[in-house]
Amino acid sequence: MIRAGRNVTLALAVDGRKWHNKDFAGEQWASARLLYAKVEADARSQRHGLWSDPNAIAP
């Protein structure tokens, strides 16, 4: 399990409560970009948070 520690944005992504905003991915370090993509994919596959809705609409 990935622990988000004190990073609120990462914690929200782990819980499936936010999208990984790919519009700003170019501003992230490569390691952060990969981490956010992974936690979003994990949340989606486990149907956490907003991913429990099969018709979730991006903001």
Burial class (CB in 10 A: 0-12, 13-18, 19+), 49: middle
Express each pLDDT in 25-35 by its tens digit: 788 889 989 99
Q: Residue 3's pLDDT band (boundaries 50, 70, 90)?
A: low
Q: What is the DSSP string of 1-56?
A: ----TT-HHHHHHHTT-S---GGGGGGS-HHHHHHHHHHHHHHHHTT-GGGGSTT-
pTM for this entry: 0.79
> Contact at 8 Å (CB) between 38 and 6?
no
Express each pLDDT in 9-20 by its tens digit: 889 999 999 988
